[in-house]
Amino acid sequence: MASLEEIRQERLKKLSLLKEAGIDPYPAQVADSLEINQILADFTALEEASSTVSIAGRIMAMRGQGGLVFADVYDGTSAMQVVIKADNLSATSFELFQNTLDVGDFVHVTGVAFTTKRGEKSLEISNWTILSKSLRSLPEKWHGLKDEEERLRKRYLDILTNEEVKDIVIKRSIFWSSIRNFLSDRGFLEVDTPVLENLAGGAEAEPFVTHHNALDLDVFLRISPELWLKRLMVAGMPKVFEIGRIFRNEGMDAEHLQDYTQVEWYWAYSDYNKAMDLVKELYQEVALKTFSTTKFNIKDFAIDLAGPWETYDYVATILEKTGVNVLTADLTEMMAKIDSLGIKYDKNGFSRNRAVDNLWKYCRRQIAGPGFLINVPVFMEPLAKKKADNPEVVERFQVLLAGSEMGKGFSELNDPIDQAERFDDQSKLRAAGDKEAQMYDTDFVEAMEYGMPPCSGFGVSERLFSFLSNKTVRETQIFPLMRPKNQD
């Protein structure tokens, strides 16, 4: 069996043959053609009229010998068999087809629609043109790429040869389009906000740092567009949303990546109760638009987004499942419980907030959902409004789905004095070594002092899409970040 390099060298020889024949193997111009799915839909009429049609696409299979060659051409919409007979072409043209074309090459072919004796819809070719000569062989059609790292590294081949992966790409587009349409239909205005920031705010995460040459200063890649979108609330925009890229310099696992797509929206004169109603409606519609169902099997959980949504109390749930009251327990007590539960954690910069978060995550994995988590302690959330009847907790909610958090929203804090105090608390945590604590954003506090209306906000990332697909978030990205091959 020939090696990959031997195959490449053989194809380079065929490339030379095309050039020697005066044929450009990579032409800029492509003659008009029809999409294959359109031809197949109208095939009966085309065949009855003996219509001559043209298609352009990639050769995915070739077979035959002597004066007859069969090839399957795929254009991204569908595949179709083309039949090349020596009698229909000049001797030179037929020999060039046989001697220079391979599986993987792109061609433009023209022919008459007909049905073979085996009942296969085909084109009998009268003319062909090379559009792009491939120099490497494609994976076998029925096997494709098996190694996971190789599949992700050569995602273009994985999409080409694996219908399931191609379907992910299509469904990702439908997923984000359905979110965009849902919000636009309800009067939300889509906006763009900065990706490079002087301060990384709006979430608890470690940011990426880069250097801005023109201004000669270090800047952060955003971890959330939240504080920019809230500035638009100050500016008098009643409903805004953004779908964009987020960057967090954190760990990588089945649910977390360092760069991903997220939607956030903000809604003036609403609170987290109204937001929860809207989120439930959004998730149900997006599921139906993208997957044509509201019922999913995710990990070990059976989920129905159209069924009842439960409400879970943060403090009460942790107390029930661990015996710890996070409102009264000190750090030593919580660390002892974390150790007894066998939870692994980084002790560097470990704070009360991190301890509570670790206990919650332990509990969360046991909850199927769908539902909303509410009543989070105020010290855990610097950007949400305190509950009027219980100022120890905030009006924050999170969607719980199959043991994970699948979106977060607030009644947004709009008291600039309270906001400044909470930023100050976060700054103290950062000074003590908590890299995920939020930075003090003086400019945002100043904007709030001009007046920000009561509003709700919500954000959810592409993790929701990966969960509904029942795959890791890395698998459902089109081109996930990979370590350079020579560093593996």
What is the reported pLDDT for 477? Answer: 94
What is the reported pLDDT for 417? Answer: 95
Distance (Å, rounded) from C-alpha 488 to C-alpha 486? 6
Write out the DSSP string of 429-443: HHHTT-TTSPP--HH
Distance (Å, rounded) from C-alpha 430 to C-alpha 394? 22
The three-class DSSP label of residue 449 is helix
The answer to whether the beta carbons of residues 311 and 374 sit under 8 Å apart is yes
Cα distances (angstroms) measured from residue 336 to each of 117, 323, 355, 359: 76, 12, 10, 11
Q: How many CB atoms lie within 10 A of CB 143?
A: 8
The answer to whether the beta carbons of residues 92 and 22 sit under 8 Å apart is no
What is the reported pLDDT for 487? Answer: 57
Distance of CA 171 to the CA centre of its chain: 10
- Write the pLDDT tens digit of every residue in 205-247: 889 999 999 999 999 999 999 999 999 999 999 999 999 999 9
State the sign of the Cα–Cα–Cα–Cα dihedral 476, 481, 486, 488: negative
What is the reported pLDDT for 288? Answer: 98
* Structure tokens, 351: 């704070």
**SS3 per-residue string spanning 162-203:** CHHHHHHHHHHHHHHHHHHHHHHHCCCEECCCCCEECCCCCC
Distance (Å, rounded) from C-alpha 382 to C-alpha 445? 12
The residues, any chain, with a CB within 8 Å of residue 394's CB and separated by 6 or more, are 376, 377, 378, 380, 381, 384, 385, 386, 387, 410, 411
175 burial (CB, 10 Å; 0-12 / 13-18 / 19+) is buried
The three-class DSSP label of residue 241 is strand
Q: How many residues does the chain have?
A: 488
Strands 121-132 and 79-85: parallel
The residues, any chain, with a CB within 8 Å of residue 297's CB and separated by 6 or more, are 303, 470
Distance (Å, rounded) from C-alpha 373 to C-alpha 274? 15
The answer to whether the beta carbons of residues 319 and 359 sit under 8 Å apart is no
What is the reported pLDDT for 143? Answer: 54
Cα distances (angstroms) measured from residue 185 to each of 189, 282, 422: 10, 11, 35
Distance of CA 237 to the CA centre of its chain: 28
Alpha helices in 323-462 (DSSP H): 331-340, 352-364, 416-431, 442-449
* Structure tokens, 254: 């089945």
Distance (Å, rounded) from C-alpha 108 to C-alpha 103? 14
- Taken in order of first residue, the domains within the chain and their CATH numbers are 4-132 (2.40.50.140), 159-309+369-481 (3.30.930.10)
Give this prediction's pTM.
Answer: 0.90
Distance (Å, rounded) from C-alpha 208 to C-alpha 346? 20
Distance (Å, rounded) from C-alpha 224 to C-alpha 138? 40
For the chain, the first-to-last Cα distance in angstroms comes to: 27
pLDDT under 50: residue ranges of the chain: 142
What is the reported pLDDT for 142? Answer: 44
- Write the pLDDT tens digit of every residue in 52-104: 999 999 999 999 888 999 999 999 999 999 999 999 999 999 999 999 999 99
Distance (Å, rounded) from C-alpha 57 to C-alpha 416? 60
The residues, any chain, with a CB within 8 Å of residue 467's CB and separated by 6 or more, are 296, 298, 401, 402, 404, 406
